């Protein structure tokens, strides 16, 4: 059965520019091409077709495809990360940075993240464009299947916007999300939870209410030193 707009799907993909891979969901591909990162979890992502969860060119290509088949698409800049905008290249005094800027370094200036394109005297040229702006991208992808479970769909939306897999359950239209201790200090969670909830109401019809629930467990008491020593002697 062909994939249609509105379906939640599991998507495996590899993106490249002129043969150089910049992103992949496959650990094997990452290791083969020397882009493997220990801190990254390699797995298919769950997205809603037509939900703008991936770049427009890839999102538009998914509808009508069949699960289990590999496809390849070339995506021009206007359907990816846009053209390179010269107005987003700024000159900033080097003394504004804690660390001496060097070409290629990612930095934050004026509240935005950019890359040091050049250093001239006491000024650094910062490019605030997306690193793939102006690039034509190549994607190879496979749709592993359709995700129909409402909880899994909601979990995928939270993962996309807050970068975490959260424990959750659904009963009588109420989605209860268990928040781990300390998550309120996570800036990405605080900024993304509103959009996640908004999209859950928009895209997952079975859910009528979302409860974000913090849960704290009493820590186990440490065993007294003397008692522990006696047990070790036994």
pLDDT at 231: 56
Average pLDDT over residues 88-103: 92
Q: What does the alpha-carbon distance between residue 89 and residue 92 come to, in Å, rounded to a whole number?
A: 10
pLDDT of the residue at 222: 75
Distance CA(66)–CA(43), nearest Å, equals 20
Q: In the predicted model, is pLDDT for residue 18 greater than 90?
A: yes
| Interatomic CA distance for residues 109 and 38, integer angstroms | 28
Model confidence over 167-198: pLDDT tens digits? 999 999 999 999 998 898 999 999 999 999 99
pLDDT in tens, 153-167: 999 999 999 999 999
Average pLDDT over residues 14-24: 95
Q: What is the pLDDT of residue 227?
A: 59
Question: What does DSSP assign to residue 66?
Answer: B
The answer to whether 114 and 126 have CB atoms below 8 angstroms apart is yes
Identify whether the C-beta of residue 212 lies closer than 8 Å to the C-beta of residue 192.
no
Element (H, E) at 188: helix 187-203
Instruction: Give the tens place of pLDDT for each residue, 113-145.
Output: 999 999 999 999 999 999 999 999 999 999 999
pLDDT at 217: 78
What percent of the chain stands above pLDDT 90? 81
Q: How many CA atoms lie within 13 A of 83 on its CB side?
A: 3
Q: Read off the pLDDT of residues 190-228 as tens digits, 9 standing for 90 and up.
A: 999 999 999 999 999 999 999 999 877 788 887 776 655
DSSP codes of every residue in 112-175? EEEEEEEEETTEEEEE-S-TTTT--EEEEEEEEEE---HHHHHHHHHHHHHS---EEEEETTEE
Helix (H, G, I), strand (E, B) or coil at 184: helix
Position 5 scores a pLDDT of 96
Q: pLDDT tens-digit profile of 43-59?
A: 999 999 999 999 999 99
Reply yes or no on whether the pLDDT at 71 is more than 70: yes
Neighbours of 190 (CB within 10 A): 12
Hey, what domains does the chain have and what are their CATH numbers? Answer: 1-81+135-148 (3.10.50.40), 86-127 (2.40.10.330), 149-234 (3.30.70.2210)
Residue with tokens 């538009």: 60
Q: What percent of the chain has a predicted confidence (pLDDT) above 70?
A: 96
pLDDT given for residue 179 in this prediction: 94
């Amino acid at each position: 059965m062909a994939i249609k707009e509105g379906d939640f799907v599991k998507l495996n993909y590899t993106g490249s520019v002129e043969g150089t891979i910049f992103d992949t969901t496959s650990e094997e591909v990452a290791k083969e091409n020397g882009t493997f990162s220990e801190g990254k979890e390699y797995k298919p992502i769950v997205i809603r077709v037509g939900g703008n969860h991936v770049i427009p060119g890839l999102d538009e290509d998914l509808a009508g495809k069949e699960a289990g088949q590999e496809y390849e698409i070339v995506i021009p800049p206007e359907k990816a990360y846009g053209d390179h905008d010269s107005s987003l290249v700024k000159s900033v005094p080097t003394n504004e940075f804690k660390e001496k800027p060097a070409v290629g370094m990612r930095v934050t200036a004026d509240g935005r993240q950019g890359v040091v394109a050049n250093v001239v005297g006491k000024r650094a040229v910062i490019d605030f464009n997306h690193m793939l702006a102006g690039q034509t991208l190549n994607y190879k992808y496979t749709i592993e299947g359709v995700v129909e479970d409402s909880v899994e769909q909601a979990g995928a939306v939270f993962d996309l916007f807050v970068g975490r897999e959260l424990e959750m359950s659904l009963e009588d239209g109420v989605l209860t999300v268990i928040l781990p201790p300390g998550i309120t200090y996570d800036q990405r969670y605080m900024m993304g939870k509103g959009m996640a909830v908004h999209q859950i109401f928009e895209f997952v019809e079975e859910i009528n209410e979302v409860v974000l629930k913090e849960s704290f467990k009493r820590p186990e008491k440490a065993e007294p030193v003397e008692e522990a020593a006696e047990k070790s002697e036994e």
